[in-house]
Amino acid sequence: MSSTDFHSVRPADSTSLISDLSSGNTTTEQVLDRAQAICASQGAKLTDKRRRILQVVLQSAEPLSAYQIADQYRDLYGKTLSVMSVYRMLNFLKDNELVHRLETTNQYLPCSHISCNHAHEVPQFLICDSCKTVDEVGIRKEILQELSANIEDTGFALARQQLEFRGLCRACQTASTVPA
């Protein structure tokens, strides 16, 4: 496969955005500026409101529901947005692959690859049941194709193939095996 697939399956890459943000290596502003450039290159406009919604999602350590995003937006900017408009803006961000929606929980999280230059793949998610962090990982196209073929063999018409896996992240596994 191409080098882009290799890049996105590296565990370090999928977590780098979150850890960089918290350690201050990549500022939220830099990621937002990059997001603005991505939108512009696709002929879309990251308006101030959309940018602020993305900022709320970027600054959260956990995926958020649209209601939580509306609450945090109000707390941060002192302005009320209806949940409907939050959903509209989230859809825009999702269409431009700046955020992803977890289908099993209807929560939103920032794309881990906003600052990357490679093409985006069909995202798959590893959700930690303990600390609620989510890793975005790439899965090889052959595996997805085989999975789709298997499913379609049953006569099922597959609409989407986003996979969400639940378990314990590396940090939480370590925490649970260290004696108290």
Q: Which structure tokens are listed for 141?
A: 């196209």
Query: Binding to Zn ion by residue 163, rule CB under 5 A?
Result: no
Query: Binding to Zn ion by residue 116, rule CB under 5 A?
Result: yes
Secondary structure (DSSP) of 100-158: EEETTTTEEEE-TTTT--SPP---EEEEETTT--EEEE---HHHHHHHHHHHHHTT---
Query: Binding to Zn ion by residue 175, rule CB under 5 A?
Result: no
- Site size toward Zn ion (CB under 5 A) is 9
CA distances, 22 to each of 16, 96, 130, 135 (Å): 10, 24, 20, 16
In whole angstroms, the minimum distance from the beta carbon of 78 to Zn ion comes to: 30
**H or E segment to which residue 177 belongs:** helix 170-177
Question: Between residues 81 and 109, which has the closer beta carbon with respect to Zn ion?
Answer: 109
Q: Which structure tokens are listed for 147?
A: 């999975």
In whole angstroms, the minimum distance from the beta carbon of 80 to Zn ion comes to: 29
Under 8 Å between Cβ of 64 and 72? yes
Question: Between residues 86 and 169, which has the closer beta carbon with respect to Zn ion?
Answer: 169
Query: Binding to Zn ion by residue 128, rule CB under 5 A?
Result: yes
Query: Binding to Zn ion by residue 9, rule CB under 5 A?
Result: no
Question: Between residues 150 and 162, which has the closer beta carbon with respect to Zn ion?
Answer: 162
* Residues forming the site for Zn ion (CB under 5 A): 111, 113, 116, 123, 128, 130-131, 169, 172
